């Protein structure tokens, strides 16, 4: 009977109050490592300044998106905000989650408490979402200060970035359960770098050949970029519903995979 208790707990529906204990633990840990939280925000900001303004001064005065001319910096900024939300979620659920799972054996101890497997998955994804939200909030403040917000719809950009953070946190957690060694993270970077460069971040998707456009539109960061770009520029259309549905479905599916995989790893 005792051996069966963790298994029975793993089948419970995750409870926010139990998952919050894991979030609290992570917050206490980062009190002395807050510089690590800032690191993921810096890279997209530097890209915005270097490419959005630096390269933007060398290219045409505007980029045409769906018939609307946009300043190049205005075009790039929401893509960097989406990338910032992705970075916060992935850094936390990939490297840190793997370290706690494989080396610290944190979750082996956690399942000896009232927390179940689903609570662990929900708690870690929530913490990664918080980290991504902090990055996104800082980024939207910078965008506003630089005059890169041109629509009142931008008030919804932060919730949109939170949706992006949730999706990538769930995907990152699920992917990390398949990682065997640190070297396997080379594969993660092999996926993230093309996502960052080619998800209509620095130029419109219309510049790609037709078949490649289809491939790009199947990627999660593209939908995140399109969602935030629509909100910060005011170009609201039916595609925004597709973006949100894609991110919600992918995040929910990845959360289920993460919980299932954690159950196999921790209770084997």
Share of the chain above pLDDT 70, in %: 88
What are the phi and psi torsion angles at 65 (to 5°)? Answer: -125, 115
Instruction: Give the whole-angstrom CA distance, residue 231 versus residue 253.
Output: 25
The β-bridge partners of 64 are 69
pLDDT in tens, 74-114: 888 899 889 888 888 888 888 788 888 888 888 888 888 88
Type and span of the H or E element at 242: helix 239-266
Q: What residue ranges do the domains of the chain occupy?
A: 32-266
Average pLDDT over residues 140-165: 89
Contact 40, 135 (CB under 8 A): yes
Whole-prediction pTM value?
0.85
């Amino acid at each position: 009977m005792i051996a069966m208790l963790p298994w029975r707990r793993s089948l419970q529906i995750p409870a926010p109050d139990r998952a919050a204990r894991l979030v609290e633990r992570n917050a206490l840990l980062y009190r002395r490592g807050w510089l690590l939280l800032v690191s993921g925000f810096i890279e997209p900001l530097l890209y915005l300044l270097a490419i959005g303004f630096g390269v933007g001064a060398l290219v045409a005065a505007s980029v045409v998106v769906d018939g609307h001319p946009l300043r190049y910096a205005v075009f790039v900024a929401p893509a960097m905000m989406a990338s910032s939300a992705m970075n916060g979620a992935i850094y936390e659920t990939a490297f840190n989650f793997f370290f706690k799972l494989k080396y610290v054996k944190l979750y082996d101890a956690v399942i000896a408490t009232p927390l179940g497997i689903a609570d662990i998955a929900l708690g870690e994804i929530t913490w990664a979402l918080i980290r991504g939200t902090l990055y996104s909030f800082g980024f939207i403040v910078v965008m506003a200060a630089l005059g890169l917000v041109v629509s009142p719809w931008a008030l919804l950009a932060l919730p949109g970035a939170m949706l992006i953070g949730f999706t990538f946190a769930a995907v990152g957690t699920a992917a990390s359960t398949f990682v065997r060694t640190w070297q396997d993270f080379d594969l993660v970077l092999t996926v993230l770098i093309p996502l960052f460069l080619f998800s209509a971040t620095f130029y419109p998707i219309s510049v790609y050949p037709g078949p490649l456009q289809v491939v790009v539109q199947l990627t999660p960061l593209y939908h995140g970029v399109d969602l935030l770009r629509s909100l910060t520029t005011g170009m609201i259309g039916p595609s925004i519903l597709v973006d949100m549905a894609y991110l919600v479905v992918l995040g929910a599916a990845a959360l289920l995979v993460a919980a299932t995989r954690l159950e196999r790893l921790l209770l084997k």
